[in-house]
Structure 1
Amino acid sequence: MTTFIKRYYAALLFALAIALAHFGVWAIANRAQALIDAPLIVNGFAYSGFQVNQSPFEKQFPSTAELARDLHILYPLSHRIRTYSSLENSEVVALASNIGFKVTAGAWLGADSLANQREIEALKAKIANYPHIERAIVGNEVLLRNDMPVEQLITYLDQVREEKKVPVSTAEPWHVWLKNPELVKHVDYIAVHLLPYHEGVPIDQAVNYSLDRYQELMDTYPRKKIVITEIGWPSRGPAIGAAVASRVNQAQFVREFLAKTAYKNYDYYLMEAFDQPWKVKLEGWAGPYWGMFDANRQPKYSLHGAVPKDTRWIKKVTWATAIAFLPILFIAIRFRHWGIGGRISMAILLQACITTLVVAWNLPGDYYYTFRDIIILIALIIGMMMTSAVLMIYGVEFSEVMFKGNWRRAYKRAVALPSNQELFVSVHLACYNEPPAMVIATIESLSQLDYKNFEVIVVDNNTKDEALWKPVEAYVDSLPANFRFFHLPKWPGFKAGALNFALKETDPRAEVIGVVDADYVVTQDWLGALVPHFSDTKVAVVQAPQAHRDWENNFFRRMSNWEFEGFFKIGMHHRHERNALIQHGTMTLVRHQSLKDVGGWSEWCICEDTELGLRLLERGYELRYIDETFGRGLTPSNFDALKSQRFRWAFGAMQILKHHLPKLLGDSTLSFGQRYHFLTGWFGWMGDALQLFFTLGSIGWTVAMLLFPKAFSLPVAIMLTPVLCFLVLKGALGPVLYRKTMNCSWTDIFGASLASLGLSHAIARGIMMGIIQKRGVFKPTAKGKSTSSKLVILNPIREEVALLLGLIASALAMLLTRGFNNIDAQLWVTMLTLQSLPYISTLACQIIAQLPDSKKQ
């Protein structure tokens, strides 16, 4: 241990500094808030005796001992309670009388007239037998719920008032009393509910607003006594307008109300004594959280001193810091050759992800979760873990590219060999249904190579139209004998099948196989600059980047070009550092013997190039990347072609991952870095698939909240955080890296980002189909200029447009139903808005792709 500390003391100090900073942020965020002190006496409590796992809906009732314990807890604070039912928990009145409470007894009324009559009879019996009952309340918010007309309620009131033993009323919110003056004639006092939270009143105005409504009732009905039978604020729940439910706000409201009414003649019952988890079915998310005590009978706040925002924050921060400490120490040790900025950014992102997961895991300790809620939470935590993993993978690439400095494996072109020492190269060009002029331009560039020892094999497979392949054949026939053309009318295996055919026709002298796409124009020095790398016998692949031509005067092609460029300037450097290249099927050179040793090109995979590269790495070979342009091809002809290409890549990636998973996880010669890149390198695309599920889930949840508002509520903010962070970071990290690594304008960075976002849905579909299906269909990417009709502009993006309309409709419906000032609704709409950005980008890309070329300057 002492040796370890001496060797890695700097890394330990780094991890400790992050831990202390994390503790400090939590301590500042959870500083106890100073509030006005209040008297330690409460006039009365609204009391319901159900314990944490009990519910009248399930016919689970508290025992006599539990009710007695509750009353003994309340007695030091108040000697008055208000009950809601005379049948449920009927022994409360007797227990309260024995202890010394004065009781305002209630009869619960609803739509069932028989049940209502039983409640009335039980209430009358209790009034007759218990002198400690000082008032009666017949019905609770019956008119507010529209359970019965006012005439029927008056009948019940008059029936109880006939006894003339105690004052009788019914309990309703203030506005119901104002709307029903005839009701006032049939009560002995006005039992009013003043709950400003439900009216969206901000907490700093809530008490004054309540007292103003009280005064309004007094002015309207000056001859009636007014009793506030419910007044309070919830500690949890959705924001309603400007009203935010929280523990601190609950304490602030109660303290301020108690302080302002302490020396005045207000008769009130605090809403309520104990939290009632079962009320979520009756009142929605906020229903369980109105108590001064939680459902476990612990006080939620005091009436004196500062109030903490979260009483469990020390436990949460301790767990989050402890879990993150060793991974952060690993970052400090493993990446010590990076700049300090890289290690700090990685550590902060990791700590944030772990903290979010720890807070989410602790939600059942902060809320009363049902079994259904637990299942949903577990599913969300799994989604959050996957999202956090994607964020960390983005973070690793970002931190290395931004802060590492020089690349250790930054290979450059090799010194050209004399012609008598040149390795023989067989260049293979596969084409299918390609424009002949485009293919001929590629072959012409190959004929001008400044290299003596090579051949070119052109394979056209499955093209039926002779007008497409005959001109190419004729052109090749006009070239020297080292250029050969083959037309395969019906040949399996797509491009891989054509390349395997070319291998059979390859000159036995060939030591290197080159592959060029049919739209590429190569530079004269391509082979001369790169083939000498094969003098190192460990090298199996030498890869140059893809690049494009003729894109400068069309914004869509500019977008496509720079979106491609990001992978070759950022991702390929990142992977090359650990010999974990993604081999791509053009501008690639492969050692002939190595290619034969691993069995040639895989015809089962529609990304045969990347799959070959992984097989070569599994054999222990080295793959080199020379970041210099030796050839330029054409960008996809339109956005549909670009989508098709990206779908194919995503589909093929999943084919590769499924096929090679045993070696990536098990016994193989792959290094840790190679395993990491091939296991995580496609996580960004998997994140797109995950986002599609989140989008569908968000739309579905919005619909459920609109149709069943009490059963489905807005998620806790912490559940939305990873989704929001993923969307924001994904949109932000790319432009920052582009600015760091590439010489392009902000306009081009915006265009590349727009294209990247616009491809998200195509990638998501490719990932999901690649997981489900075994084989895919190789669809060549259309190159050149687009000639699509404007009348069918939306056909290629129908799914994206449908999802965009669903998200827009969900956001508008949420704002219209929950209010434009509702903070929780605003957060949800923010998430829906961010989720819509990929689909907005898709629509924008499709429109931009239809624009004509700009005039050359």
Structure 2
Amino acid sequence: MLRSVTPLLPLLRRTLTALLLTVLVLTAFWQAWAWHVRLGTEPGVAGEINGFAYTPFRRDQSPLEKRYPSPEQIAQDLDLLALYTKRIRTYGVTDAPAIYPLAHQRKFEVAMGLWVSADQALSEREIAAGLEMAERYDNITRIVVGNEALLRKEMTVAEMAAYLDRVRDELRRRFPDKNRRPLVSTAEPWHVWLKNPELADHVDFVMIHLLPYHEGIDVARALDYAFGRLEEVQKRFPKLPVVIGEIGWPSRGEVMPNLLGGDERAEASIENAAHFVRGFLSDPRSLFLDYYIMEAFDQPWKVAVEGWAGAHWGVFDADRQPKYSLDGLIVRDVRWQEKAKLATFIGAPLLFALAFALASWNLLGRLWLMGLTQLCVIVLLIGVYLPKDYYLSRGDLVGLIFLILATLMTAAVLLSHGFEFGEVLFKRQWRRRFTPLPPVPPEKAPFVSVHLACYNEPPEMVIATIDSLVAMDYPHFEVIVVDNNTTDEALWKPVEAHCAQLGDRVKFFHLPKWPGFKAGALNFALRQTDPRAEVVGVVDADYVVERDWLARLIPHFLESPLVAVVQAPQAHREYEHSFFQRMCNWEFEGFFRIGMHHRNERNALIQHGTMTLIRRPMLEAVGGWSEWCICEDTELGLRLLERGYEIRYVDHIFGRGLTPSDFAAIKSQRFRWAFGAMQILKAHMPYLLGKKPSQLTFAQRYHFLTGWFAWFGDALHLIFAMGSLFWTLGMIYAPKTFTLPVATLAAPVLGFMAFKSALGPILYRRTMQTKWIDILGASILSVGLSHTIARGVLAGLTHKKGTFVRTPKGWRAKGTFAFFGPIREELGMLIAITASGALLVAQRGWLSLEIQLWVAILALQTIPYLAAVLCQIFAYLPDNTPPETAASTPSPAPHS
């Protein structure tokens, strides 16, 4: 019995460890969420609230669109408010007449508003309906004729006085009993009353609005400011009662600068709204005041007429949920527990799977990736909840979808990078780590055919490559040189002549017109290959190989019959003299020192078309090189993996080539790679998704589906940049249609973008023997190629065929304005995004958090375009290596 249980102990221990780590991470995030939303406690409501300003429209209703609440909905509102008060103030009669009989049934005291404005017909209807209601329901104790009509300059003081006198006269006629007669006034901000004191001759009481937010008063002194303005009005009108018709603070909205100037400003937030409203309700001075809290429920429709803050004055949101407690603990988000529970429910199985699957990582590494995963779950969940938390127009919803998609893609890229980051830094031991092997005896060494395809290459460069191949210390091999489609005899004739001097070991072929790009030339070489050849090697025309390349790598084929490819890294020479070429070298190094190890661990290598060795029977069995694809090397590697073969990566430098000559050259190379990657993805998607049979493992599918996430991220960045530019211009020229993205989602997007950008340099520093200046240069180049990669991805997804463009290795002459040619698109995007951001700040100011976050996002959008300009500057200078990093910097050391 004991023997049967013993093998299960490691599995049980692994399961319990994964469970413990999952609970630990989820608990930490729950506590962090609770800490983040907690704002503390302040004195709350001491008793019944004197009254609420009440407008009954719900989330999907608007008087502007003639969509009104039902009597049942109004009844629900009044039943909810009855828990806090028995007094309401309304703003109109004809839009929601059901308020008044329902309020009468529930014994609410009503200050009835009559909406009078420049629309005379509407004003007349309101007055007629209001007088009828007052006559019918004795709980209407006040009538408020107009709301801020003088502030909006919709009528003059004389016109308002005429309305007030007319309503008062009509009430005297209809209500001879003074005790039954409603009192009459109009509602205006405090300063309008002080500016127009003659208005007091036409009212029974003074109704003022005290909204320090609109005046840019900091919340810390807003309460004292409001009481000061109230006292000022009371002194000015000592014979009339002063009623506060509106006092409150919005939970969301623009930052309001102080109207008198200075650094003071008013910020709309849940915290400030709770602080101000609870402070007012608990203040001893409020016990002796007649007031209405502004307002009972959020009114989303007001965004169209009052701006972002106009919709968020309610103590309750548009769904009738309290936005903050009126007593006890104050939190930023009353829905936080609902969100946290859902995030925990979604994240738990994901985190457990990660903790269980990554048992070969150390504890810190597993916690790193689990925490990153849960953070992504939370951010995406917050995005999904935004339509509940905010009142979004149709245009806003489009923008939200855009932002969520950007967040989703950014999170996917971030997690794939995080997995690579974690494996490189936190894995205890690599399972698949191959090294050069000792040479085998000559009689056991298989015959190798090395193929070199060239097109329009400098002859001296190709000859140097051929000479290095001929000098290899290996007993049985041949070299086949294929020059295809080169029309200039001065380029290929010298190579032909040189090959003729090297004997039978070297064969040269010139193909004047040959289809299939490089793949076509390699297929031609395959047909010319010696029948004895068991392995085919491929070298680029600019490489100088080491003498022991074949001797040290061919033995891997003898270790296992499943080995189809043995791949050595690309490396460079003669790059130290130029800072730009140093940038190119170290940017390439990142992939071979980091990405290839990561993929090699699960036999999911990207084969590249130089320093590669392929078992000839397997190459022929899968149909040779694919001439439809301009990245024939990577496509061949994937076909071999689909057959269940093995590809080995030996991280030891056996040859060095030349870096691209300038920025235009590396751009053309990277465009070709991105285009070809999309060709491969489209052609092999059925196999990667399991819709067609293959022997790909789950890990191999993962690497080939996510391996190009970073490039998809570049494509998304271009789309996002164009969309951001369009949206910014919309906010400038059509602000009612295009609003600022909410900080709740903009901030995580900004954080994700910044965090993802930091991972690369950290990995470079930990895995490569170079200086920070090299890491900076490599990072600038990597980012500067983003626009080119994006164009390649989009072109590859939308076009079937591509054009193979060789990567120039020699310096090219430039004209006076040729500097701008390779970067004209990037320069245009840089100028457009920068200008749009500057215009937005000039129009809206810099005080709003949403403005600051959006401008920060725009600034991040410009980084790839700014980096491209820097790359062109560095490439344009013939020798721009910083003095401290001149040619004395050592070449990259071989890794094993």
Cα deviation for residue 15 of structure 1 reads 1.7
- Unaligned ranges ≥5, structure 2: 173-181, 258-264, 888-896
Measured in 1, the distance between the counterparts of 2:563 and 2:581 equals 34
Name which of structure 1's ranges 344-353 and 443-452 shifts more when overlaid on structure 2.
Answer: 443-452
Residue 117 of structure 1 corresponds to: 124
1:750 to 776, 780, 786: 776
Q: CA deviation at 1:705?
A: 2.8
Aligned match of 1:542: 566
Give the 5 Å matches for 1:315-354: 315-354=338-377
> Aligned partners of 2:186 and 2:213: how far apart in 1?
21
Indicate yes or no: 2:682 matched with 1:658.
yes
Segments of structure 1 that go 5 or more residues without pairing to the other structure are none
Shift of residue 159 of structure 1? 4.6
> Does 1:698 pair with 2:721?
no
Deviating more after overlay: 520-529 vs 48-57: 48-57
Q: What is residue 221 of structure 2 aligned with on the other side? A: 205
Offset from partner CA, 1:604-657 (integer Å, 9 cap, x none): 001000001111111222111111111111111111211111111111111111
Q: CA deviation at 1:102?
A: 4.0
Q: What SS does structure 1 have at the residue aligned with 2:329?
A: coil
Residue 232 (structure 1) aligned with residue 248 (structure 2): yes
Q: What is the deviation of 1:227?
A: 3.4
Report if the CA contact (8 A) 2:395-2:738 is conserved.
Answer: no
State whether residues 360 and 428 of structure 2, in contact with CA within 8 Å, keep that contact through their aligned partners in structure 1: no
CA distance in 2, matches of 1:758, 1:379: 24
- Most deviating of 320-329 and 86-95: 86-95
Aligned mates of 1:493, 1:330 — CA distance in 2: 45
Task: Give yes or no for contact 1:5–1:12 (8 Å, CA) kept in 2.
Answer: no
The match for 2:380 among 357, 371, 382 is 357
Distance 1:218 1:617, change over 3 A: same
Q: CA RMSD in A?
A: 2.9
User: In structure 1, which of residues 767, 778, 785 is the aligned counterpart of residue 793 of structure 2?
Assistant: 767
**Bigger mean CA offset, 491-500 vs 62-71:** 62-71
* 1:494 shift after superposition: 0.9
> After superposition, where does 1:408-447 map in structure 2 within 5 Å?
408-447=431-470
Shift of 1:434: 1.6
Q: Which moved more, 1:150-159 or 1:379-388?
A: 150-159
**AA matched with 2:69:** P
Query: SS of the residue aligned with 1:430?
Result: strand
Code of the aligned partner of 1:574: H
Work out the CA distance in 1 between the residues paired with 2:211 and 2:470.
85
Counterpart contact for 1:284–1:711, Cα < 8 Å: no
- Shift, 1:836, TM fit: 1.8
Relative to structure 1, is the Cα distance of residues 325 and 802 closer, same or farther in structure 2, using a 3 angstrom cutoff?
same
In the alignment, which residue of structure 2 is the partner of 1:456? 479
CA apart distance, 1:25: 1.7
Structure 1 pair 365–586 and aligned structure 2 pair: CA distance change class (3 A): same
Look up the match of 2:802: 776
Choose 176-185 or 527-536, whichever is displaced more. 176-185
Could you tell me how far 1:840 is from its partner in structure 2? 1.5
- Distance (Å, rounded) in 2 between the aligned partners of 1:805 and 1:176: 46
Looking at structure 1, the residues matched to 14 and 760 of structure 2 have their Cα atoms a distance apart, in angstroms, of: 36
What is aligned with 1:732?
758
**1:569 aligned partner:** 593
Determine the C-alpha separation between the residues in 2 that align with 1:789 and 1:183. 76
- Cα distance change, pair 299–520 in 1 and its aligned pair in 2 (3 A): closer
CA distance change for structure 1 residues 530 and 211 in 2, over 3 Å: closer, same or farther? same
Aligned match of 2:208:
192
Partner of 1:557: 581
Q: 2:27: which partner in 1? A: 20
Report the CA distance between 1:560 and its aligned residue: 0.9
Hey, what does 2:619 align to over in structure 1?
595
For the residue of structure 1 that corresponds to 2:721, the secondary structure is helix
Q: Which residue of 2 aligns with 1:623?
A: 647
Query: 1:149: Cα distance to partner?
Result: 6.0
Q: Partner residue of 1:486?
A: 509
Give the aligned residue type for 2:336.
Answer: W
Q: Which moved more, 1:113-122 or 1:510-519?
A: 113-122
Percent identity (aligned): 55
Cα 1:253/1:518, change in 2 over 3 Å: same
In the alignment of these two chains, the number of paired residues is 857
Residue 648 of structure 1 pairs with residue 672 of structure 2: yes
Preserved CA contact (<8 Å) 1:39 1:262: no
Classify the secondary structure of the residue corresponding to 1:561. Answer: helix
- The structural deviation recorded for 1:70 is 3.4
In 2, the alpha carbon distance for the partners of 1:259 and 1:71 equals 23
SS in structure 1 of the partner of residue 509 of structure 2: strand
List aligned pairs for 1:96-111, cutoff 5 A: 96=103, 99-111=106-118
Q: CA deviation at 1:731?
A: 1.2
Aligned residues of 2:740 and 2:850 also touching (Cα < 8 A): yes
Instruction: Please tell me whether the aligned partners of residues 14 and 359 of structure 2 are also in contact (alpha carbons under 8 angstroms).
Output: no
In the alignment, is residue 56 of structure 1 matched against residue 87 of structure 2? no
d(CA) in 2 for partners of 1:406, 1:112: 79
Q: CA–CA distance in 2 between the matches of 1:476 and 1:177?
A: 100
The equivalent residue for 2:894 is none
- The AA in structure 2 aligned to 1:668 is S
Distance in structure 2 (CA, Å) of the matches to 1:178 and 1:809: 44
* Counterpart position of 2:872: 846
Instruction: Report the 3-state secondary structure (helix = DSSP H, G, I; strand = E; otherwise coil) of the residue aligned with 1:784.
Output: coil
Of the structure 1 ranges 397-406 and 811-820, higher mean CA displacement relative to structure 2 is found in: 811-820
Alignment of 1:12-161 (within 5 A): 12-31=19-38, 33-75=40-82, 77-96=84-103, 99-126=106-133, 132-147=139-154, 153=160, 156-157=163-164, 159-160=166-167
Query: Aligned partners of 1:228 and 1:373: how far apart in 2?
Result: 35
Tell me the TM-score normalized by structure 2: 0.89
Contact 2:676 2:796 in 1 (8 A): yes
**Cα distance, 1:330–1:67 mapped onto 2, change above 3 Å:** closer
Quickly say closer, same or farther: Cα 1:69–1:780, change in 2 above 3 A.
closer
- The CA distance in 1 between the partners of 2:83 and 2:632, in whole Å, is 78
**580-589 or 565-574: bigger deviation:** 580-589
Partner-residue secondary structure (3-state), 1:849: helix
CA distances 1:375-429 after superposition (whole Å, capped 9, x unpaired):
6655644443333222111111000001114422221112123444432222211
Q: Distance in 1 between matches of 2:195 and 2:512?
A: 85
1:400 matched to 2:423: yes
Residue 565 of structure 1 and its aligned partner are, at CA, apart by: 0.3
How far is 1:329 from its partner? 1.6
Q: Are 2:308 and 1:308 aligned?
A: no
Q: Is the 8 A contact 2:396 2:738 kept in 1?
A: no
Report the 3-state secondary structure (helix = DSSP H, G, I; strand = E; otherwise coil) of the residue aligned with 2:378: helix
Q: One-letter code of the match for 1:832?
A: L
Alpha-carbon offset, residue 293 of structure 1: 3.1
Q: TM-score, normalised by structure 1?
A: 0.93
- Indicate conservation of the 8 Å contact 1:727/1:835, yes or no: no
Residues 1:11 and 2:18 are matched in the alignment: yes
CA distance in 1, matches of 2:533, 2:588: 31
Question: 1:717 aligned to 739, 743, 756, which one?
Answer: 743
- Residue 260 of structure 1 aligns with which residue? 283
1:151–1:446: structure 2 CA closer, same or farther, 3 Å change rule?
farther
What corresponds to 2:813 in structure 1? 787
Tell me the distance in 2 between the aligned counterparts of 1:215 and 1:791.
Answer: 70
- For residue 351 of structure 1, report the CA deviation from its aligned partner: 1.0
- Kindly provide the CA deviation profile for residues 113-136 of structure 1, in whole angstroms up to 9, marking residues without a partner as x: 322332244345555666654444
Say if 1:525 and 1:284 are closer, same or farther in 2 by CA, change over 3 A. same
User: What is the CA distance between 1:851 and its match in structure 2?
Assistant: 1.6
Give, in whole Å, the separation in 2 of the partners of 1:612 and 1:289.
Answer: 59
The amino acid of 1:230's aligned partner reads E
Query: 2:262: which partner in 1?
Result: none
Q: Does the CA-based 8 Å contact 2:322-2:334 persist in structure 1?
A: no
1:354 shift after superposition: 1.3
| 3-state DSSP of counterpart to 2:614 | strand
